[in-house]
Amino acid sequence: MAAKLISDEIPKPEEVKPLNALEAIGLRRSIRWYEPNKPVEKWKIQAMLEAARMAPTAGNYNGTRAIVCYRDEDPDIWEYISDWSQITTQMAPVLIFWCYDMAAYDTQGQQLHDLMRTGALDKAHGWDYDRVAKMFPLPALLPDMILHRIAAIDLGKAIENAIITAVSLGLGTCLNGASGGARRNVKKYFNLPDTYVFCWMLTVGYPAESIDGGGARGRPPFETMFFERKVGNPFQRDERVVELLKQLKLIQPQGPLPGRLEEINRLTKRFGLGDEWLTDWELGPSQLNDLRVLKDTRPKLLSKEELERRIADVKDVTVEYQLKPTVKREELDRYRKERGISPED
Ligand SMILES: Cc1cc2nc3c(=O)[nH]c(=O)nc-3n(C[C@H](O)[C@H](O)[C@H](O)COP(=O)(O)O)c2cc1C
């Protein structure tokens, strides 16, 4: 069956209006609500993969691998993912399973020689054919833990390139972890060679929530993350630069933007989830930005009446697409039992 959720049209270059890198980085959110039936253009998926391929890798390791799947071809593909990602996965037209290949280390020396051949590496920097040939492949020198770390960091960079490309082209994405069982399933399902390490699944599609996800998410204070000269000496944030970057849209307004609770609950209804799935707590500003108020408090529950008042216009939303709410552990267990999926799967 050919996927209907993917379109083959290729635009003319002048018809594409990508966001620039700064704005795309600023606008990126983990998108958890997708237009389930809106096809994604295949060229955009290819663009994401092309961008992933261009990411830097340690010593030209090039171990990134990805398997692209289309939900309508593989309607049960979301079974392979852990509970908190279940409904996201049921909505997204495209899923990309990201892996790295430890076997790529075998040809890393050759890839470095290739950089010498093509003039990226030169003699002035100390590059020498025999020296490289002696050092590589790295598995002869380095413990597995280090090799996995290098490969995982490289994969992360490749994924981020793909994500920024997606945002720049109007798509939403969210990375998703997988439980141990899902990991085993993925290995069998995709026929992954033993040298492949599956890491993350990326949902891709057009956002059904606002593309800004109801505002930028909180982050710890800049000065606690970045330093000048030594740790403890914060890199001072210049407010004029903050202002400039706001204008350039790298820094965007913090969530929750007005109407976010209503938006989440409208989507909950639109996707056929019952009242018990309505978000019934008060939203408020992130506390992460300000260490003085940072405190892990339980969100304040809205009374039934207050919730009803807040989402009065959500009541009559027509169900457009039915999600299976398996996110609760007991529902997931029941679903898996019905489908004959064993706890070890
Ligand atoms: C490696 C990785 C795994 C993630 N796994 C999940 C996941 O399983 N489910 C989910 O809803 N979000 C997942 N996320 C999204 C993060 O929760 C999100 O990036 C973080 O809360 C910051 O929000 P933002 O991406 O919207 O800025 C993951 C993100 C990363 C980078």
**Same domain membership, residue 248 and residue 315:** no
Model confidence, pTM: 0.94
**pLDDT tens string for the chain (345 positions)?**
567 889 999 999 999 999 999 999 999 999 999 999 999 999 999 999 999 999 999 999 999 999 999 999 988 787 777 777 888 999 999 999 999 999 999 999 999 999 999 999 999 999 999 999 999 888 888 999 999 999 999 999 999 999 999 999 999 999 998 877 777 778 888 999 999 999 999 999 999 999 999 999 999 999 999 999 999 999 999 999 999 999 999 999 999 999 999 999 999 999 999 999 999 999 999 988 877 777 888 899 999 999 999 988 887 899 999 998 876 777 777 877 887 777 666
Asked if residue 202 and residue 157 are part of one domain, the reply reads yes
The encoded tokens of residue 168 equal: 């720049």
Which structural domain, as residue segments, surrounds residue 243? 219-253
Q: Are residues 40 and 181 in the same domain?
A: yes
Output the pLDDT for position 3. Answer: 79
Q: Are residues 244 and 267 in the same domain?
A: no
- Report yes or no: 239 and 290 within 8 Å, Cβ to Cβ: no
How far is Cα of residue 126 from the mean position of the Cα atoms in its chain? Answer: 38
Strands (E), 129-207: 172-176, 196-205
- C-alpha count within 13 angstroms, C-beta hemisphere, residue 228: 5
Q: Which amino acid is at 330?
A: E
Residues 300 and 315 in one domain: yes
- Which residues sit opposite 287 in a β-bridge? none
Amino acid 65: pLDDT: 98
Residues 73 and 162 both lie in one domain:
yes
What is the CB < 6 Å shell around ligand 1?
A: 29-30, 32, 84-85, 174-177, 200, 213, 217
Ligand 1 pocket test: which of 28, 29, 30 has the largest number of ligand atoms within 8 Å of its C-beta?
Answer: 30
CB contact set of 108 (below 8 Å; sequence gap of 6+): 59, 60, 61, 62, 136, 137, 138
Cα 176 to middle of ligand 1, angstroms:
6
Same domain, 223 and 314: no
Q: What per-residue confidence (pLDDT) applies to 335?
A: 78
> The domain that contains 111 carries what CATH number?
3.40.109.10
On whether the CB atoms of residues 113 and 121 are closer than 8 A, the answer is: no
Query: Total structural domains in the chain?
Result: 3
Of the candidates 190, 21, 211, 184, the residue with the CA atom closest to the CA atom of residue 96: 190
Of 8, 33, 3, the C-alpha closest to 273 is 33
Torsion, Cα 162 165 170 175, to 10 degrees, reads 20
Q: Are residues 86 and 201 in the same domain?
A: yes
**What distance in Å separates the CA atoms of residue 270 and residue 218, rounded to the nearest whole number?**
27
Whether residues 171 and 34 share a domain: the answer is yes
Same domain, 239 and 333: no
Do 170 and 33 share a domain, yes or no?
yes
200 CA distance to ligand 1 middle (Å): 10
